[in-house]
Structure 1
Amino acid sequence: MLLAIKRDIIKPENQSEVIIMARTASRTANVYTRVDPETKEQAEAILNQLGIPMSNAIGMFLKQVVLHRGIPFDMRLPAAKPVAIGGMTKEQIDMELQKGMDDIAAGRVVSADEVDAEMRRLYGI
Structure 2
Amino acid sequence: MKRTANIFVRVEPENREIPFDMKLSQNKHLSYEELGEEWFNAEIERGMTDLKSGNAIPAEKVSDRMSKDYGL
TM-score by length of 1: 0.27
Relative to its length, the structure with more strand (as a share) is 1
Relative to its length, the structure with more helix (as a share) is 2
Which has the larger Rg?
1
TM-score by length of 2: 0.41
